Amino acid sequence: AQTVTQSQPEMSVQEAETVTLSCTYDTSESDYYLFWYKQPPSRQMILVIRQEAYKQQNATENRFSVNFQKAAKSFSLKISDSQLGDAAMYFCAYRSQPMEYGNKLVFGAGTILRVKS
C-alpha cells in the first residue's frame, strides 16, 4: 500500500518570503499523480498543484511550485512571496494512475503553515 509522509507538523514564514514544505511517499508503482491540497479554516480542501509522475518537468502554478524527485520519492512544495491568505493546513496526496483503482487519494498527515505579518 502507498504511504505519504509529511515530516513537518508546523512551519512559519514571514510575509513575502519563501517557504518549502516537505513530502515523501512510498510506492512500487511507476505511474501516479501527486498533489498538494490546502485546507483553510473554512475546512474546504482546495487543490494547489498537481504533478504527473511521468513528467520530468516540475509543475508550477503562479507562486506555487514543486520539486519532484522521483527516484528519491520526494515531492516538496515551494511557496514564493508568501501571503497572509496562504496560512492553512497543507496536505500532500498520492493517487495511483490506473482509473480502475477509483481515483482515491492517499493523504499525508499535513503541515500547518503560519504566515507572520
Question: Which residue ranges make up the site for other proteins (CB under 8 A)?
Answer: 4, 33, 35, 42-47, 50, 91, 93, 95, 99, 102-110
Nearer to other proteins, 11 or 105 (CB): 105
Nearer to other proteins, 79 or 110 (CB): 110
In the bound complex, what is the minimum distance in angstroms from residue 80's beta carbon to other proteins?
23
Nearer to other proteins, 85 or 102 (CB): 102
In the bound complex, what is the minimum distance in angstroms from residue 17's beta carbon to other proteins?
26
In the bound complex, what is the minimum distance in angstroms from residue 69's beta carbon to other proteins?
20
Give the chain as a DSSP string.
--EEE---SEEEEETTS-EEE--EEE-S-SSEEEEEEEE-TT---EEEEEEETT--SPPEETTEEEEEETTTTEEEEEE-S--GGG-EEEEEEEEESSGGGTT--EE---EEEEEE-
